[in-house]
Amino acid sequence: EAQVTQNPRYLITVTGKKLTVTCSQNMNHEYMSWYRQDPGLGLRQIYYSMNVEVTDKGDVPEGYKVSRKEKRNFPLILESPSPNQTSLYFCASSFSGFEKLFFGSGTQLSVL
Amino acid sequence: AQSVTQPDIHITVSEGASLELRCNYSYGATPYLFWYVQSPGQGLQLLLKYFSGDTLVQGIKGFEAEFKRSQSSFNLRKPSVHWSDAAEYFCAVGRQGAQKLVFGQGTRLTINP
């Protein structure tokens, strides 16, 4: 089944403790992206990747890192999480650009 | 800069009634426009998109949307809603050559039986 898989689904952590949210797609997509969803703000792009080893900042990249070492994986790294990063995170992928994005089920992150 | 406004945060309609969700965008050139739906606890799913051509586009699940350049709008419609349409709906705009979508704030749809 074609899908974008994010893990974990829920995560509670404390300020400053490094964490990684994984994202994997099995559709051989070139493009991958991370979004955060906050009430009243919709989805905002954090980072995106056009292909392996090619990443770029979205609208809200501060406090986040990404890497794209393999085509299928695009992990999101929070090296020192803070409470303002409490949010619902989505990974998405597509064959190219934003033409048709496939989304994962989301990761609800709480930073205490 | 691109922006998207969905004026209605929450809409309630009765099952079987018609639906229209509003979306206004701000962008200088011809935009790429999208509607996504997010069911509870799920990721987003593409309903329909407009790139060019016929301004009335058909999507999945019986939805359609009309691009009106003069009003900078891309409203989503459905003639008769079903209880399973209860979800959050997001309008989004992209531009050629860029690699990101800008999403609206979302409209939560509740269906009364």
- Taking the Cβ of residue B89 and every Cβ of chain A, the question of whether any pair is shorter than 8 Å is answered with no
Q: How many CB atoms lie within 10 A of CB A18?
A: 10
Q: Name the DSSP class of B31.
A: P
Q: What is the pLDDT of residue B46?
A: 95
**Percent of chain B whose pLDDT exceeds 70:** 98
**What is the band of B43 on the pLDDT scale with cuts at 50, 70, 90?**
confident
Distance from CA of A38 to the nearest CA of B (A): 9
Mean pLDDT within B27-54: 89
- What's the CATH code of the domain at B72? 2.60.40.10
Query: How many CA atoms are closer than 13 Å to the CA of B32, on its beta-carbon side?
Result: 14
- Using the Cα atoms of residue A108, residue B1, residue B4 and residue B5 in order, give the sign of their dihedral: positive
Mean pLDDT within B70-85: 96
Q: Which of B43, B100, B106 sits opposite A98 (nearest CB)?
A: B100
**In chain A, what residues touch B105 (CB-CB under 8 Å)?**
40-42
Best of A50, A94, A98, A99 to substitute, by most chain B Cβ atoms within 10 angstroms, is: A98
- Taking the Cβ of residue B100 and every Cβ of chain A, the question of whether any pair is shorter than 8 Å is answered with yes
Q: Taking a contact as any Cβ pair under 8 Å apart, which residues of chain A between 2 and 31 contact chain B? A: 4, 31
Q: Which of A33, A43, A104 sits opposite B90 (nearest CB)?
A: A43
pLDDT for B66 beyond 90 = yes
Mean pLDDT within A6-14: 96
Structure tokens at B104: 């609206």
- The domain total for chain B is 1
**pLDDT tens, residue by residue, A20-63:** 999 999 999 999 999 999 988 999 999 999 999 999 999 999 99
**What is the band of B63 on the pLDDT scale with cuts at 50, 70, 90?**
very high
Distance from CA of A103 to the nearest CA of B (A): 5
The runs of H, that is alpha helices, within B1-113 are: none
**What is the band of B15 on the pLDDT scale with cuts at 50, 70, 90?**
very high
**What is the band of B89 on the pLDDT scale with cuts at 50, 70, 90?**
very high
Distance from CA of B6 to the nearest CA of A (A): 10
Residues in contact with A1: Cβ distance below 8 Å, sequence separation at least 6, in sequence order: none
Mean pLDDT within B84-105: 88
- Taking the Cβ of residue B32 and every Cβ of chain A, the question of whether any pair is shorter than 8 Å is answered with yes
> Lowest mean pLDDT: which of A16-20, A86-90, B91-95?
B91-95
Domain containing B73 equals 3-112
| Distance (Å, whole) CA B74 – CA B102 | 14
Amino acid at A1: E
- Taking the Cβ of residue B27 and every Cβ of chain A, the question of whether any pair is shorter than 8 Å is answered with no
Mean pLDDT within A56-74: 95
Which residue is closest to B35 within chain A, CA to CA?
A100
Q: What is the pLDDT of residue A107?
A: 97
pLDDT for B88 beyond 80 = yes
- Taking the Cβ of residue A90 and every Cβ of chain B, the question of whether any pair is shorter than 8 Å is answered with yes
Measured in whole angstroms, the distance separating CA A43 from the mean position of its chain's CA atoms is: 12
